[in-house]
Amino acid sequence: MVHVDGRVTTCCLDEGLENTLGNARETPLAELWNGSLLHRWRVAQADGRFEDSGPYCTRCNWRGAGTMPAEAVAEYLAGTKEHAALRRFRTRYPHVARHSHRKAK
């Protein structure tokens, strides 16, 4: 979410801007979206470690609201070569097909 002053946070619930990634007036939005901080927080959420997915997530009771489909999470982890996280995710969500992240030829 981009606030009026340009600050970008991960979540529309984060009115206090605790999960601020940066400022879109200073850093391209794509850079913030694809940056290492948000990547770490995404992997933490995939692991169910909300305490590591941004300061506001630690106290949030909406965890999982608007969650991405499990297949999309697996695709993200595979695409970013987070193989250990992908194995952990598949342990938690065994219904995700082993090769669901591969694109059809």
Instruction: Name residue 46's amino acid.
Output: A
Q: Binding marks (x or -) toward ligand SF4, 10..39, rule CB under 6 A?
A: xx-xx-------------------------
> Using CB under 6 A, which residues numbered 46 to 105 contact ligand SF4?
50, 54, 56-57, 60, 62-63, 65
Q: Cβ closer to ligand SF4: 22 or 54?
A: 54
Stretch that binds ligand SF4, among 8-16, 22-30, 86-94, 97-105 (CB under 6 A): 8-16
Contact between 1 and ligand SF4 by CB under 6 A: the answer reads: no
β-pair partners for 22: 8
Those residues whose C-beta lies under 8 Å from the C-beta of residue 6, and which sit 6 or more positions away, are: 23, 24, 25, 26
Q: Compute the CA torsion angle 96, 102, 104, 105 (nearest 10 deg).
A: -160
